[in-house]
Structure 1
Amino acid sequence: MSARVAAILARHRLPLAGIGPAAQRHVGWGGFQGGQNSEHPADRTAFDAGLLEAARAEGVSVIYGSVSSVRPEAGEIRLADGTCLSARLLFEARGRRAPRQSTEMQRTELAGPDTISVAGIVPPHAGDMETPRIEARPGGWVWSVPVDRDRLWLQAVGAAAALGQARGKTAVAALWESVLAETPLPRHPVVHAIAPRLAAPDLDPRCPRLGDAAVALDPLSGHGMFWAVSSALMAVPVARALLAGQAGLARAFYRSRVAETFWRQARVGRDFYRAAGLQTPFWQQRAAWPDEAPAHDTDIRPHTALRVVVQDGHLVRREVLITRDAPGGAAFAAGQEIVPLLRRLNGQPLPDADRFHSTVLPQAPPQAARAIHQWLLSQGFTEGAQIPWDTANRETDPCNYDPAA
């Protein structure tokens, strides 16, 4: 778990059971060698139990069971034991087990190369027992983290092609050996298909999707848990819009958030695979997907656009500022709407921080005015120079998820 996710959970007063202290990660990845970033090892059994207990404390009914069918049009979920649950609005959050949404786009356009993760507890001599490690290997990549003094959690990620024609444990062992030939297979391996995929490009207003059920990311990105949390936070304003008959707002917001997350993370992942500098089939295939578009467009000229954003817990359509660092659009900074502030300047150069406060934001606290001024500087605005932005609305359409667009 990243420090950012831990901070978000704490801010929303969610339990942090099972989350250990931050540990520096050792990296062996092409030109990246040594200590890079840090992460919080998390015991998911304890963490998940804490979340469920917090849900119960808020009045949520927690039901354990296998789902046999889901009927969004009727608002019904039928369990394997015959129990039928009904609700005014359903949310699909079964992760990668959720069925893909039918779409005209091909599967290859909405999913990355087939990738398998095999993980489990291995003897301590199999790796470093001091710090988490991630390492690029010719057949894939490896992540490990010490669980305690005499146990190491080791994950090997390889191509599904490494399974060959084998089945069952033989196939798992073949993939493990293709990445970690020098280490015995864990006694109880945990196996998952982990190819990134855009499972639901469009909102189903009867059953919106959250987390991996909408967008499943490559674990290499380290963005999966953040996406799970942020997509869960968007559930409340989406539900309010749908229950108020504002399905159009919900659709536009969902498509922009979900598609933007998928394509940006896919391209960031592509660049990380390229950075490993390996030329084997595993790396070549992933260094070429999804396309050649830059993960970060550096040619964006600041301009305004209409976007659906969250304001005070509700979906609203607002003008946002599109910049190189905020390609999805920024509506607010330090609690203030950005575009109206810029219009108050009436095309004049951005003043220094003190004059910005006194002439543009006199009603705001000095700290807030200074924070907004600093944010504008970070987006390419320069004190004393003509403001380099277009006041006309050049974009009104929601984000297009087609990679060719």
Structure 2
Amino acid sequence: MSDVTVLGLGPAACLLALALARHGMRPLLLGSRRSRPAVEGVSQRVVEALRQSGCSNALDLLGPRWQRVSCWNAQEVEMNGEFVVERSAFDQALLRDVQAAGIEVKEGLVRSVDPLPEPGRAVAFEHASGRRQTLRAALLADCRGHTAPKTAADRLAGHTLVSLGRSFDGARAQPRTTFIESFEAGWAWGGVDPAGRAHVQVVVLPELLAAHDGDLDAAHAACMQMLGRLPRRFGRALQPTGPARARGIQPALRGVIAEADWLRIGDAAYTCDPLSGHGMFEAASAAIAAVPVINTLLRRPQSSALALRYLDERAESVFRSRIEAAHQHYATETHWRDEAFWARMTRAPSLPALQGTRPGRASFASRPVVEDGYIVERRVVVSGEHPRGVRFIDGIDLGRLDELLHAGAPAAPADIGQHLQAPPEAVARALHWLQAQSLLTHAGH
């Protein structure tokens, strides 16, 4: 009998299942393997998550790190390298790691998810053999990404874009390289290997595709003509090895993320602009963040509401930070500022203030946090800059420090340090930080 039914067989689902198993829980994976080919970059942070999860098969697939070059705002610079994988092969390697860990996997299609009279969901599942089965799931962790069904309108959403990707042969022989370039109609990401195999993805407005009557090959070719440095680096003799493929892109925060029996993890909860190239990292970090939530739901049900609140608030906070980071990065490209794509993407996002925060003012508030593998409520400092709260400065618990000051404890760092069993210099830095937030005036400091 499984504790958690995980929907999906991608990175978020596999890493979540491995993490749950390490914490003594019994996950069951339900889903189908990725069918469409795709090329994706993998950052060093994802590599560290794979190592910590014991994903030897996935790590073996990575190969050497690729050189990474960016041409943005007419400035060409070399950046930290990245790994490049074909997603179908990468997902299959992750799945082998999951099976090697003894985690049960059922391959097939999730046909429907329906509420039950008692707590839980009924999952209608069609096995790869064609056999149909209905499973009862007390707790679902939905990691199906874009295919996860919406149960409410999106809470927040950004601009709609289109990604067009196409693979080629005949590129100039060179070390493994990825290349980012901005151009008048959008931006491009390309990868080329020593055998001359290349992949180029362009991100543009939907209007560009409409201008070519929906012809994906023609639209992609038109973008290739606009690019300057990428074709010079890859060579002009590129020969397509297949048709261009398109997918829609829209940063969006789902309307419902955390229910008592259905959690949305990774892209199923929120999607980000691909500009950062951290899609795999978002999946990995979301999976890791979900573990203490699920641990709390299963083992401390009296704290279920707090755990659900934590998952929901984390998703919204991360989504907002990614939206702002993407906007700031687009704004650094000034060469094409009058073109339609850049005029739209450099427009400041209009997002309502996060509930419970006041721009420019910091205050103490109770927030759900992770402690010893569970979600608990603690006092933290919240502000517009830190909507989820700051609990520690230099190892000093700010809520506990504030309580000591209110209780009339001696305010000297050495005296406070004795109470907190902390170095006086760390206490001094925490006091200085609170003073900078105007949070010591009430205590007479």
Does TM, scored on the shorter chain, surpass 0.5? yes
1:252 equivalent to 2:296? Answer: no
Counterpart mapping for 1:12-91 below 5 A: 12-15=53-56, 16-30=59-73, 32-73=75-116, 75-80=121-126, 81=130, 82-91=132-141
- 8 Å CA contact 1:176–1:185 kept in 2: the answer is no
- Structure 1 residues 148 and 173 mapped into 2: Cα distance closer, same or farther (>3 Å)? same
> Residue 201 of structure 2 corresponds to which residue in structure 1?
155
Task: Name the residue aligned to 2:291.
Answer: 236
| Pair 1:11 & 2:52 matched | yes
Query: Cα offset for 1:72?
Result: 4.2
Deviation at 1:154, TM superposition (A): 1.5
- Structure 2 CA distance for partners of 1:358 and 1:127, relative to 1, 3 Å: same
The residue that corresponds to 1:401 in the other structure is none
Residues 349, 387 of structure 1: 8 Å contact kept = no
Letter in 2 for 1:271: Q
What number of residue pairs does the alignment pair up? 373
Contact 2:257 2:264 in 1 (8 A): no
**Alignment match, 2:372:** 312
Displacement of 1:261 after TM fit?
1.2
Look up the SS of the partner of 1:242 in the other structure: helix
Task: Say if 1:14 and 1:110 are closer, same or farther in 2 by CA, change over 3 A.
Answer: same
Aligned partners of 2:290 and 2:311 also within 8 Å? no
What residue in structure 1 maps to residue 433 of structure 2?
Answer: 381
What's the counterpart of residue 347 of structure 2? 288
Establish whether residue 266 from structure 1 lines up as the match of residue 323 from structure 2. yes
Q: Does the 8 A contact of 2:173 with 2:196 survive in 1?
A: no
Q: Equivalent residue of 1:339, what SS?
A: helix
Question: What is the identity, as a one-letter code, of the residue corresponding to 1:49?
Answer: Q
Q: Alpha-carbon deviation of 1:44? A: 2.9
Structure 1 runs not aligned, ≥5 long: 394-405
Q: Evaluate the alpha carbon distance shift between residue 111 and residue 341 of structure 1 in structure 2; reply closer, same or farther with a 3 A threshold.
A: same
One-letter amino acid of the structure 2 residue matched with residue 162 of structure 1: L
Asked whether 1:322 is paired with 2:382, we answer yes
SS at match of 2:208: helix
- Post-superposition Cα deviations, 1:112-142, rounded to whole Å, max 9, x if no partner, equal 2221112232234379755311111111111
Please identify, of 321-330 and 197-206, the stretch whose mean Cα deviation from structure 2 is larger: 321-330
Q: Classify the secondary structure of the residue corresponding to 2:48.
A: helix
Question: Aligned equivalents of 1:273 and 1:219: distance in 2?
Answer: 12
C-alpha deviations, 1:42-84, integer Å up to 9, x for none? 3434432232122223332212212221224452221343222
Classify 1:314/1:152 alpha carbon distance in 2 versus 1 (closer, same or farther; 3 Å).
same
- Are the equivalent residues in 1 in contact too, given 2:368–2:377 (CA < 8 A)? yes
With the length of structure 1 as denominator, give the TM-score of the two structures.
0.78
Cα shift at 1:236: 2.4
**Equivalent residue letter for 2:198:** L
Shift in Å at residue 319 of structure 1? Answer: 0.9
Query: Relative to 1, partners in 2 of residues 1:211 and 1:83: Cα closer, same or farther, differing over 3 Å?
Result: same
Q: What is the TM-score of this pair, normalised by structure 2?
A: 0.72
Structure 2 CA distance for partners of 1:8 and 1:325, relative to 1, 3 Å: farther
Residue equivalent to 2:168? 122
Q: After superposition, what is the alpha-carbon deviation per residue over 1:308-348, rounded to whole angstroms, capped at 9, x for unaligned?
A: 11111111111113367644213346776342145446698
Q: Does the CA contact (< 8 Å) of 1:157 and 1:179 recur in 2?
A: no
| Amino acid aligned to 1:217 | C
Q: Structure 1 CA distance, aligned partners of 2:429 and 2:278?
A: 24
1:101 equivalent in structure 2: 151
CA contact (8 A) 1:196 1:218 kept: yes
**In 1: Cα distance, 2:134 partner to 2:313 partner:** 33
Identical-residue share of aligned pairs (%): 28
| Rounded Cα–Cα distance in structure 1 between residues aligned with 2:82 and 2:323 | 21
How far does the alpha carbon of each residue in 1:137-182 deviate from its partner, in whole angstroms, 9 at most, with x for none? 1111111122343212221111122221767xx5212431342226
RMSD in angstroms over aligned alpha carbons?
Answer: 3.6
Letter matched to residue 87 of structure 1: A
Task: Say whether the 8 Å CA contact 2:379–2:399 is kept in structure 1.
Answer: yes
Q: Please tell me the residue identity of whatever aligns with 1:179.
A: C
Identify which of 248, 255, 261 aligns with 1:206: 261
In structure 2, what residue type is equivalent to 1:269? A
2:273 corresponds to which residue? 218
Higher fraction of strand? 2
Tell me, in whole angstroms, the C-alpha distance in 2 between the residues paired with 1:173 and 1:129.
Answer: 27
Residue identity opposite 2:433 in structure 1? F
Letter in 1 for 2:287: A
